[in-house]
Amino acid sequence: MQDPVASLISLALAEDIGSGDVTSLYFIPLERRARAFVTARRDGVISGVAVAARVFLAVDPTLDVEIFIPDGSQVAAGALLMRIEGAARPILTAERTALNFLQRLSGVATLTSAYVALIKDTSAHILDTRKTTPAYRMLEKQAVVHGGGTNHRLGLYDRAMVKDNHLMAEGGLPGLQASIHQLKTELPEVEVELEADTLAQVSAFLTLEGVDHLLLDNMSLDELRAAVAARGEHPTPQLEASGGVSLATVRDIALTGVDFISVGALTHSAPALDISLDFHKI
């Protein structure tokens, strides 16, 4: 089975190079050698430097690539992240694709770290969601971890998440309990999460067996506190707040006592971190 990151790199390079890098082909002598450094232009958390290195080596395996600062590191503007040395043409050909990965993923890690810092003295954890760039999910979720966050389910296969649209199709609490029991019998390793829009639903769902998580959707702070109180001292189901989460609101949400706070913005709205590649004389 092919490495999914290798496949993604291959697709990204094919998209950019097409029939050939005509600029490098016609304006850079074949024998020209170069040394380039990748530099962070803003403070942030780095993610994707290992992927960027793979991009350069995918274009030319003879390049000498050295990583100075590993993924998950907090850096200041001006930090040198990596060095690439060898033939100038392949360095220039790989530059944009490598930076696209590195800037995008570092942006996710940096935004995640900002959320995590705001709630570091609480018991809550920051979660990502499935609102990811198509085909980038594993990399973006890894970037969330590099920023200090926690991964939610990876896809539709590793956690059952029963939302309002699913609930419309089943037969009340008895039907829901039967479905949970069947899933737990056939797939005991898969966790179950139910979405609650109201405190009445929270109370009802707390009577069910086999529920690992409750998603508290778009609830006010008072409702979140009431849901925590209703759950009591029991460790499960764990409570996840979702909806209306921003850097301005996340701390107040964490202080209600919920276990997790899911933030779609980590992956769907993270601005890229400004990172550059510059040539230096050998």
Number of domains within the chain: 2
**Selected catalytic residue, list 35, 42, 83, 96:** 96
Q: Which of 71, 128, 217, 223 is labelled catalytic?
A: 217
pLDDT at residue number 165: 64
Structure confidence by residue, pLDDT tens digits, 106-156: 999 999 999 999 999 999 999 999 999 999 999 999 999 999 999 999 999
Same domain, 226 and 246: yes
15 labelled catalytic: no
- 4-45 confidence digits (pLDDT tens): 999 999 999 999 999 999 999 999 999 999 999 999 999 999
Can 223 be counted among the known catalytic residues? no
For 90, the domain range is 4-108+271-280
Q: Catalytic one among 131, 159, 225, 251? A: 131
Please compute the mean of the pLDDT values over residues 165-177 and round it to a whole number: 74
Residues 240 and 178 in one domain: yes
| Rounded average pLDDT over 257-262 | 98
63 token code pair:
């390049």
Same domain? 150 vs 63: no
Q: Examine the domain organization and report whether 216 and 247 are in the same domain.
A: yes
- Our answer to whether residue 96 is catalytic in this structure is yes
Residue pLDDT, tens place only, 35-85: 999 999 999 999 999 999 999 999 999 999 999 999 999 999 999 999 999
DSSP 118-185: HTTTSS-EEE--S---TT-HHHHHHHHHHTT-B---SSTTSEEEE-HHHHTTS-HHHHHHHHHHHHHH
CATH number at 98 reads: 3.90.1170.20
Judge if 12 and 83 occupy the same domain. Answer: yes
Kindly name the residue from 163, 164, 222, 252 that is annotated as catalytic.
163
Q: How confident is the model at residue 1 (pLDDT cuts 50, 70, 90)?
A: low
pTM: 0.95
Annotated catalytic residue 281: no
Say whether 85 is catalytic. Answer: no
Same domain, 69 and 164: no
Could you tell me if 131 and 207 lie in one domain? yes
